[in-house]
Amino acid sequence: MNTLLGCSCWAQFFEFMTNLFARLQPHASGSQLLRSAAISAALLTGCAGLLVGGSAKAAAVATVDTCTFGVAGATCPTYTTAPGRLADKIFSVVKAPNQGSGEVKFTWVDYTGDGLSLDDDWSSVIDWGTPGLIGPLGVGEFDYTLSIDPASGYSFGVVSLDSLEGGSAVNPTTVTKELFEGLTATNSLGVLTSVDGGHDELNLAGTGIQQLYVEDRWSVPEQHTLETLSNGFEQVPGPLPLFGAAAAFGWSRKLRRRVGTASLG
């Protein structure tokens, strides 16, 4: 696994963030914007100290592991026998992205700076770079598994899907993410959809699920592009009774909203 480093990344960072905020601003909450900003910084710095929310949160530590696809010496397939691991999460690529070339980035943002906690964010991001995939392209795919070490005492909470692309209401770029319980594509939990960069999420709090099989799919119409596809994962102490998990999730979301408001105000 390689870590993304280098000063040349900063130009890409500013371009990415400008596009990201322009696309998310109309329909994203402050917490979603804050989370996207932190993860975006993580993607470009590998390991960074981020001041978020002033005194509301301590410096966050962001860590990224990457593998490559679509190029000579691609490393993503090696995850099938040597899974990537960050803290309590184990990430294995089953099928590398089958269109274009770029990196798969497995990201952990430790918001509290004290190791695993309820506020941590995890993501797997397919990054095709700029200009990304250029349509028209039929259905592309990327499959992987993500597991939580049972010893950590956590299970999956909110799972989300986002993308960065260009489309239109008439002929939109569409990304989907189907979740399955366990390490095989047999027990579907539901499908998330991102149309023209939209956000979608599914709350798994209270289920006690610690293993997920994820199928990402996308379709890029003519004269449109797809630059990134992002899967986000939050966690809760688990397994918990449904009421307890819902209360814990509600507390976490309220904290995020307060931090987002403070940072963006």
Question: How far is C-alpha 193 from the chain's CA centre?
Answer: 14
Q: Let me know if residue 4 belongs to a domain.
A: no
Compute the Cα dihedral for 192, 168, 264, 132 and give only its sign: positive
User: pLDDT of 29-76, one tens digit each?
Assistant: 455 555 555 555 555 544 443 433 333 444 477 888 899 999 999 999
Q: Let me know if residue 37 belongs to a domain.
A: yes
Number of domains in the chain: 1
Q: Let me know if residue 2 belongs to a domain.
A: no
Q: Let me know if residue 56 belongs to a domain.
A: yes
- Where does residue 254 fall: left (phi above 0), alpha (psi -120 to 50 degrees), or beta otherwise? alpha
Compute the Cα dihedral for 49, 163, 10, 106 and give only its sign: positive
Q: Let me know if residue 231 belongs to a domain.
A: yes
Q: Let me know if residue 219 belongs to a domain.
A: yes
Which one, of 221, 251, 263, lies nearest residue 117 by Cα?
251
260 pLDDT band (50/70/90 cuts)? very low
Q: Model pTM greater than 0.75?
A: no
Q: What range does the domain containing 191 cover?
A: 9-264
User: pLDDT of 109-151, one tens digit each?
Assistant: 888 777 788 778 899 999 999 889 999 999 999 999 999 999 9
What torsion, rounded to 10 degrees, do the Cα atoms 93, 174, 129, 48 define? -70
User: pLDDT of 189-230, one tens digit each?
Assistant: 999 999 988 999 999 999 999 999 999 999 999 888 999 999
Which range, 21-30, 78-87, 256-265, is most confident?
78-87
The 3-state DSSP class for residue 99 equals: coil
